[in-house]
Structure 1
Amino acid sequence: MTRASPMTPIELAQASAEAMWDNDCASQALGMTLEHTAPGEATLSMTITQAMSNGHGHCHGGFMFTLADSAFAFACNSYNQMTVAQHCSITYLTPVHVGDRLTATAREVSRRGRSGLYDVRLTNQAGDAVGEFRGHSRTVKGTHLPIDE
């Protein structure tokens, strides 16, 4: 009996993302699109709706944070290890408006032992940076996909 060859790191990242996406009701309900996954990387996008606006008529910062946090989650979970946020922060650079299409691009800065550090840049449809997010991750018990013994 022959065994299938093991997944490449990119295939593993994509399969882990698909498994996570199937259960990610929050990201899906907000209309996010998962555009790219690779080891330690993820890109998601979302259009800002009227329901996401604050009292100033701009995008509420919580929705920007949520988009960045989702990109962070897909990036740090790309190794088929359950990984959670330990600490996150965001800096808002400029107001975002209803109708803007935001893209969150996450990249791994460091991954050692059970800890990881990730940066996420939020840009609008013109490519202008509108926010910078940093997330600290921690792996926990469990995997997204079954592991061959």
Structure 2
Amino acid sequence: MTEVSSTPSPDELAMQVARKMYEEDKASQHLGMALKEIAPGKAVMTMRVTEQMLNGHKTCHGGYIFTLADSAFAFACNSYNQNTVAQAAQINFLRPVPVGTLLRAQAKEINRTGRTGLYDVDVFNEKDELVASFRGNSHTIKGQILTPPDQE
């Protein structure tokens, strides 16, 4: 397990957690997602729409847009170094996305109380047009992504 550096700032901790998570996140890597920003309760990820992501209408399949939003959600809600999973999520698709588009998912924490959280993720195209709106509920479970030095 990766050790967390002693008393990092909240931003440093979020970055350390994100590095470790991305190392293990084969789905996001496989789809070419890139983590562009991370902070406590926030994350920005990008993904380029490829031919393999197109549906029968020759636009990006909604499942791929959902996956990008879900990944940004995961990085945002795990940024505190507490294992956190999705409890529920929904998405609204607002406009079609053609092949070649670079999508940007911006996740932000709306509320975090006890073991539950509420996060919104807006997905934009390269023209900064909103293409989808995702809302996720998180649930914190046992364990941490990084091991504190005193627990090694």
Give the structure-1-normalised TM-score: 0.96
Offset of residue 148 of structure 1: 3.3
State the AA in 2 paired with 1:51.
Answer: Q
The within-5 A match list for 1:44-83 is 44-83=45-84
CA offset digits 1:90-141 (Å, max 9, x no partner): 0000001101110000000000000000000000011100000000000001
Letter matched to residue 53 of structure 1: L
Q: What SS does the aligned partner of 1:116 have?
A: strand
Q: Which residue of 1 aligns with 2:99?
A: 98
Q: Secondary structure at the match of 1:132?
A: strand
Task: Provide the secondary structure at the position in 1 that maps to 2:17.
Answer: helix
Gapped regions of structure 1 (runs ≥ 5): none
Which amino acid is the alignment partner of residue 92 of structure 1? Answer: F
Tell me the TM-score normalized by structure 2: 0.94
Q: Which runs of 5+ in 2 are unaligned?
A: none
* Local SS of the residue matching 1:31: coil
Aligned-partner residue type, residue 147 of structure 1: P
Residue 79 of structure 1 aligns to a residue whose secondary structure is coil
Distance 1:12 1:5 in 2: 10
2:28 is the counterpart of 1:27: yes
Aligned residues: 146
Letter in 2 for 1:133: F
Q: What stretches of structure 1 move > 4 A for 4+ residues in a row?
A: none
Across the aligned residues of Structure 1 and Structure 2, the Cα RMSD in angstroms comes to: 0.9
Q: What is the rounded CA distance, in whole Å, between the counterparts of 1:102 and 1:72 in structure 2?
A: 15
Who is 1:12 aligned against?
13
Say whether 1:126 aligns with 2:127. yes
Residue 78 of structure 1 aligns to a residue in which SS? coil
CA contact (8 A) 2:6 2:149 kept: no
Q: Per-residue deviation at 1:5?
A: 5.3
Letter in 1 for 2:148: I
